C-alpha cells in the first residue's frame, strides 16, 4: 500500500444516480502512466470525470495519497490534480499566455496576481510543449491541435501530482502524438507525476503505458501491465473482434482476412513482407505466405491476414512434407511475390519455390512498384 498513490475502492460511476460501471477497485502507483482503453461509450470518460470530481461517485471512494478526494477543498484538489478533458473551452479575448497562466491560480493570492516565479513557470510550461511562439496569439484563432498543446501546457503549469487527460491525442497528427507521449513519459519519470489518460490508439497505449485498464460492460473488463493486457485474444474480446484479426505479440489490429481463393504466394522473411501483406490485405487479395519459421517477425505479421502460412517450428529445418505442401499451394497461384529476403542456410529451401515458379510459368514479382503495377487494379 505504501507505493499506492491513486486508489478506487468499491467505486460505482454513472449519471443521475444510475451506475454505468460498478465495483471498481484499483490501486495505482505514483510516477506511472495509466491508460484506460475500451470501445466508444464504454465509460472511460465517466471514470476520469469521477476521479476529478466533475461527476460525483454513485458509491465508493477515490483516494489520493490516502485522502478521500471528496473531502479535499477545491484549492487543495487543484494543487494536486490537473485536468485536460475533451470539452472545448471558449474563452473570449484571452491569449494563449493567459490560458496557460490560469494554471497558477490555485497558488495565487485572492486577487490572482502572478509572481515572477509564477511567470517563469508559465514560460517553462509553454516551452515543454513547444508553444512559446503562440503566447501572444488569441486562443480562439488556434487549430484544434494547437489548442490541445495549450491546454496541456496549462495542466503542466499547475504543477500537479496527478494529471488526468481524456483522449489527449485526438486532434494531433502523428508527430505531435509521439511528442506528447514523450512529454508525459518524461514528466512521470523526472517529476514524479502520475498520469491517467484515455486513449483510442492501441499502439500508443501499448508503447506508453505502465498500466492499462480495459473498460467494457458494467464492470472493469481487465487491468494489468501492457504485457498482460496486449496478449492473444484479450484485446479482440474487448473490442468484439475475431481473434485472428490481431497479430501477437505485436499487437497490430488488421483488416478482415480476404476469403477468396489465393492467387498470390508471398515469399517473405525477417520483416521483408510487411508492406506486401498490408498492400494485399488492403486490396482484398487473398494470399499464402511461406516458408517461414515461427519465430520470424513475418510469421506474426502475416498470421492475421494470410490465408495460410507454411511455417516450421522455431530453429527447426523445413521438412520435405512442409515444402511439398507449400509447392502445391504455389502451383495453384498466378503470382509469386519475392519480398527480397536474403536466402541463406536457414531458409535455403525457399530457392526451390522460386525454381518451381519459374518452371511452371508463374510470374515472379519483385519490388513494390512491380507488385502495384500488376495487382493494383
> In this structure, what is the dihedral angle of CA atoms 48, 39, 238, 180, given to the nearest 10 degrees?
-60
* Residue whose cell numbers read 474480446: 237
Q: Report the C-alpha gap between 305 and 257 in whole angstroms.
A: 5
Q: Report the C-alpha gap between 347 and 334 in whole angstroms.
A: 23
Q: What is the pLDDT along the chain (377 residues), one digit of tens a residue?
A: 457 899 999 999 999 999 999 999 999 999 999 999 998 889 999 999 999 999 999 999 999 999 999 999 998 999 999 999 876 677 778 999 999 999 998 988 777 789 999 999 999 999 988 899 999 999 999 988 888 889 999 999 999 999 999 998 877 788 888 888 888 988 888 888 999 999 988 888 888 899 999 999 999 999 998 888 887 578 878 887 665 555 555 555 666 677 889 999 999 988 899 899 989 988 889 999 989 988 888 888 898 889 999 998 887 878 889 999 999 999 999 999 999 888 776 667 788 999 999 999 999 999 999 999 999 86
Q: Are 349 and 291 in contact (CB under 8 A)?
A: yes
DSSP designation for 71: G
Ramachandran class of 41: left when φ > 0, alpha when ψ lies in -120 to 50, beta otherwise: left
Domains along the chain?
A: 4-239 (3.40.50.300), 254-375 (3.40.50.1220)
pLDDT at 293: 87
pLDDT at 253: 61
Pairing of strands 162-166, 363-366: unpaired
Amino acid at each position: 500500500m505504501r507505493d499506492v498513490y491513486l486508489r478506487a475502492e468499491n467505486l460505482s460511476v454513472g449519471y443521475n444516480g444510475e451506475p454505468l460501471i460498478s465495483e471498481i477497485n484499483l490501486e495505482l502507483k505514483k510516477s506511472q502512466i495509466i491508460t484506460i482503453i475500451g470501445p466508444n461509450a464504454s465509460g472511460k470518460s465517466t471514470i476520469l470525470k469521477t476521479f476529478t470530481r466533475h461527476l460525483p461517485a454513485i458509491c465508493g471512494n477515490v483516494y489520493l495519497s490516502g485522502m478521500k478526494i471528496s473531502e479535499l477543498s477545491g484549492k487543495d484538489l487543484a494543487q494536486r490534480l490537473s485536468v485536460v478533458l475533451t470539452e472545448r473551452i471558449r474563452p473570449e479575448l484571452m491569449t494563449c499566455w493567459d490560458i496557460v497562466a490560469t494554471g497558477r491560480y490555485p497558488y495565487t493570492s485572492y486577487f490572482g496576481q502572478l509572481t515572477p516565479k509564477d511567470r517563469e513557470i508559465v514560460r517553462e510550461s509553454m516551452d515543454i510543449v513547444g508553444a512559446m511562439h503562440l503566447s501572444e496569439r488569441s486562443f480562439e484563432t488556434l487549430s484544434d491541435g494547437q489548442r490541445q498543446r495549450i491546454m496541456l501546457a496549462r495542466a503542466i503549469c499547475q504543477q500537479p501530482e496527478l494529471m488526468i487527460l481524456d483522449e489527449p491525442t485526438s486532434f494531433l497528427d502523428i508527430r505531435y502524438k509521439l511528442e506528447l507521449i514523450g512529454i508525459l513519459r518524461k514528466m512521470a519519470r523526472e517529476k514524479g507525476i502520475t498520469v491517467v489518460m484515455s486513449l483510442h490508439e492501441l499502439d500508443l497505449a501499448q508503447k506508453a503505458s505502465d498500466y492499462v485498464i480495459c473498460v467494457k460492460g458494467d464492470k472493469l473488463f481487465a487491468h494489468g501491465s501492457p504485457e498482460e493486457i496486449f496478449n492473444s485474444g484479450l484485446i479482440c474480446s474487448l473490442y468484439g473482434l475475431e481473434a485472428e484479426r490481431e497479430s501477437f505479440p505485436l499487437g497490430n489490429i488488421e483488416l478482415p482476412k480476404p476469403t477468396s481463393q489465393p492467387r498470390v504466394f508471398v515469399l517473405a522473411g525477417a520483416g521483408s513482407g510487411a508492406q506486401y501483406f498490408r498492400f494485399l490485405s488492403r486490396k482484398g487479395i487473398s494470399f499464402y505466405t511461406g516458408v517461414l519459421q515461427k519465430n520470424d517477425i513475418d510469421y506474426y505479421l502475416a498470421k492475421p491476414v494470410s490465408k495460410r502460412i507454411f511455417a516450421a517450428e522455431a530453429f527447426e529445418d523445413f521438412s520435405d512434407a512442409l515444402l511439398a505442401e507449400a509447392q502445391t499451394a504455389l502451383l495453384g497461384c498466378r503470382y509469386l511475390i519475392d519480398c527480397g529476403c536474403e536466402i541463406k542456410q536457414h531458409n535455403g529451401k525457399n530457392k526451390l519455390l522460386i525454381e518451381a515458379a519459374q518452371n511452371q510459368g508463374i510470374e515472379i514479382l519483385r519490388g513494390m512498384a512491380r507488385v502495384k503495377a500488376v495487382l493494383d487494379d
